[in-house]
Amino acid sequence: MSFFIHTIGDRRIEARLNISENTEAALALIVHPDPNLGGKMDNPIVLAMEKAFYDAGFSTLCFNYSTNPNPILTTHGEKTPDFLDISMLIDWAMQERSDFRHFWIAGASFGAYLALQVTMRRPEIVHFVAVSTPLWQNDFSFLAPCPVSGLVVHSKQDETTMVNAVEVWAQRLSQNTKSLVTLKTIADTDHMFSNKLEILQKTIFDYLQTVEHSTGKLIPA
């Protein structure tokens, strides 16, 4: 069920919170693609990510950007909300839900870019999941060194960023001995995994079984 969170100033964020039956569950905050391109919390790719996390035992928090966003400019000049809304949601979760102690963040497309920005700025984040990371559209040089481990999922036929560039990027992020970035690729689909959402969901779900949710550390094989 959707509800509104009132934050600083005139910001009003529409959100959807699904609470796990596990009282110790980590919270996964899921960031949707660029709203200028139709991105919202009800996108099929967001719903697939949300179900993967919830089925794996997480509580999940999805949202639409605030009604009074503070925009930034992308490399193409479009105005898009910045990561301030995301940071406000984390603050809200920490203040209003004292049972949330462990935070993950996940994002798709431009949402992955924002999610990784927040990962660098918020020490509460213990792990990330980045889907269809737009390396050729945005500058990811800020992610060095990568502070936590994470999962990158990419289509082998992604029309926005070739998979070999993502492979090199993921390997570079894993050079930090404190973090390990795992890359999973899915064939025969597009940037938004239009015909492979069930496979995307299973890929994320299976990966979540290999990580300690409270710490973000990989479970020894």
* Look-up of token digits 């015909």: 195
Short-list 45, 62, 46, CA closest to 190 = 45
Tokens 């009132």 identify what position? 6
For residue 108, the surrounding DSSP H or E stretch is strand 103-108
pLDDT at 99: 77
**Helix, strand, or coil here: 164?**
helix
pLDDT tens track for 142-171:
887 889 999 999 999 998 899 999 999 999
Task: Report, as an integer, the average pLDDT of 115-127.
Answer: 93
Kindly state the tokens that stand for 111: 């949402």
Question: What is the C-alpha to C-alpha distance for residues 142 and 219, in angstroms, rounded to an integer?
Answer: 28
So what's the pLDDT on residue 80? 47
Let me know how many helices (H) and strands (E) the chain has, helices first: 5, 10
- The model's pTM: 0.91
- CB neighbour list of residue 201: distance below 8 Å, 6 or more residues apart: 48, 49, 51, 52
pLDDT in tens, 109-120: 999 999 999 999
- Taking alpha carbons only, the member of 221, 153, 142 closest to residue 193 is 153
